[in-house]
Amino acid sequence: MNRRHFIHSAAALPFISAIAAEKPKRLVLRSSWQTVNIGDIAHTPGVLALLEKHLPDVEVRLWPSNLDNGVAEMLAARFPKVTVIRGEAVKTAFEECDFLLHGSGPSLVAEKDVVKWSQATGKPYGVYGITFSGQQASKDKSKPVPKTIDVLSGAKFAYFRDSVSLELAKKMGCTCPLMEFGPDGAFAVDLKDDAKAEAFLKAHGLEEGKFLCCIPRMRNTPYWTLPEKKAALDEKRHARNEAMKDHDGKPLLDAIVSVIKNTDLKILLCPEDKTQMKISKEMLYDKLPEDVKSRVVWRENYWLTDEAISTYRRSAGLFGHEMHSPIMCIGNGIPAIVCRWAEQTSKGFMWRDIGLNDWLFDLDKDDELARVAETVLAMAKDPVGSKAKAAKARDFVMGKFAASMGVVKGQLPA
């Protein structure tokens, strides 16, 4: 390079740097699967909170599937800088954004959209905290589509929210350059609606630190009972639900009775999805002895994630058949016990992955089923030890998030 050329080049550097500084880093988050379940809602604000904390200079555009039931307003209040994209705005995002991040979920939920992004833009994408069962996501056999394992292989990174999914992906030949255990984004949710939570607790005589939350569910979520789902009755799944209802409810009933009789705590029966208010009444509340029932509160209305988390934060812990309310509890340092069974995906094994194996129970195994009540009681009687255990798991999860967000950052323009 001659002297004159060097001088001109050097003079241009501040101008070039200014242009680079003016162009923000842009990322598309593909998430928000449905709103009839506070856990499915939680995936999105969890990952958004992580991006806000670890990548504060990145412009995030949310590409959702569903934001109804007041979820759009809840997210807008917490994340006013995040743009929600639909229709033509998605096309614009394809042109302007640098990276697509597929958010946490029960599978590679938006597989088709990931493929669309990759084929249309040639830009990179990553997968953040999913369960992988090995099944092809696309149901349309008439259209040739890449296999799910191939889509995962094309990602810059793939984080699986349980070790069983991670090992299955490896076994099936996934060649993604970075595959690791990566916690469900819902652990990072920091939403709150303290006013609603406190009003409900006061109205029902529940004091902070003086109650446990309990959430029951059926083996198969009876979406056919929800008008908005427009789903036909699944006779086989309904029959399985009915056959196992008493079996699955018994350890929770035993735990409730044990806590009421051996502590001064109360119990709040609450829902994770819109089907569970009826389930908790029929499976648990209506079957309790009257002397126990007087200290048990049945929540008859669905709620959103913000109010639920504010309630969980004021509880002494949670137990039941669900996964994401326990996730949100641990993410906020609140003890939580998980019961699972064969019909569920491998997501429950994340409890083992984060050091909470003795708070995980398989209700298809009689010896584990028999230990649920005593474990719930032990958690209730040792609030200090239980919270310390929850905090240790939370710290482990947050460390994983910090590392994985560093990887996301590394995929964006320098």
Residues 177 and 304 in one domain: no
**What is the predicted pLDDT for the residue at 118?**
98
| Cα–chain center distance at 11 | 51
Distance, CA of 149 to CA of 375 (rounded, Å): 39
Q: State the average pLDDT over residues 391-409.
A: 98
62-93 burial code (b ≥16 CB/10 A, e <16): bbbeebebebbebbeebbeebeebeeeebeeb
Tens digit of each residue's pLDDT (9 = 90 or more) over 123-172: 999 999 999 998 754 455 555 556 999 999 999 999 999 999 999 999 99
The answer to whether residue 181 scores a pLDDT higher than 90 is: yes
Spatial neighbors of 194 by CB under 8 A, at least 6 apart, are 310
**What is the predicted pLDDT for the residue at 135?**
72
Residue 408 maps to a domain: no
**What is the predicted pLDDT for the residue at 264?**
98
Domain extent at residue 338 = 194-394
Residue 402 maps to a domain: no
pTM comes to 0.92
Distance, CA of 12 to CA of 17 (rounded, Å): 9
Which residue shows structure tokens 């482990």? 396
Instruction: Indicate the average pLDDT of the chain.
Output: 93
The dihedral over CA atoms of 273, 277, 279, 282, expressed in degrees to the nearest 10, equals 170
Beta pairing partners, 99: 27
Residues 80 and 203 in one domain: no
Residues 126 and 253 in one domain: no
pLDDT band at 204; cut points 50, 70, 90: very high
Tens digit of each residue's pLDDT (9 = 90 or more) over 44-96: 999 999 999 999 999 999 999 999 999 999 999 999 999 999 999 999 999 99
**What is the predicted pLDDT for the residue at 71?**
98
**What is the predicted pLDDT for the residue at 10?**
44
**What is the predicted pLDDT for the residue at 161?**
98
What's the Cα-to-Cα distance from 175 to each of 151, 155, 157, 347, rounded to whole Å? 10, 9, 10, 22
Phi and psi, residue 350, nearest 5° = -60, -25
Nearest alpha carbon to residue 62 among 54, 78, 226? 78
Residue 147 maps to a domain: yes
Residue 152 maps to a domain: yes
The answer to whether residue 113 scores a pLDDT higher than 70 is: yes
**What is the predicted pLDDT for the residue at 414?**
83
Residues 166 and 228 in one domain: no
Q: What percentage of the chain has pLDDT greater than the value 90?
A: 91
Per the structure, how many domains does the chain have?
2
Nearest alpha carbon to residue 296 among 259, 341, 345? 259
Residue 405 maps to a domain: no
Which residue shows structure tokens 């008008």? 227
Nearest alpha carbon to residue 315 among 184, 210, 200, 165? 210
**What is the predicted pLDDT for the residue at 401?**
98
Nearest alpha carbon to residue 272 among 245, 229, 238, 307? 307
The answer to whether residue 393 scores a pLDDT higher than 50 is: yes
- CATH number of the domain enclosing 228: 3.40.50.2000
Q: Which amino acid is at 53?
A: K
Q: State the average pLDDT over residues 189-209.
A: 98
**What is the predicted pLDDT for the residue at 142?**
52
126-137 burial code (b ≥16 CB/10 A, e <16): bbbbbbbeeeeb
pLDDT band at 3; cut points 50, 70, 90: very low
Q: What is the DSSP letter of 231?
A: P
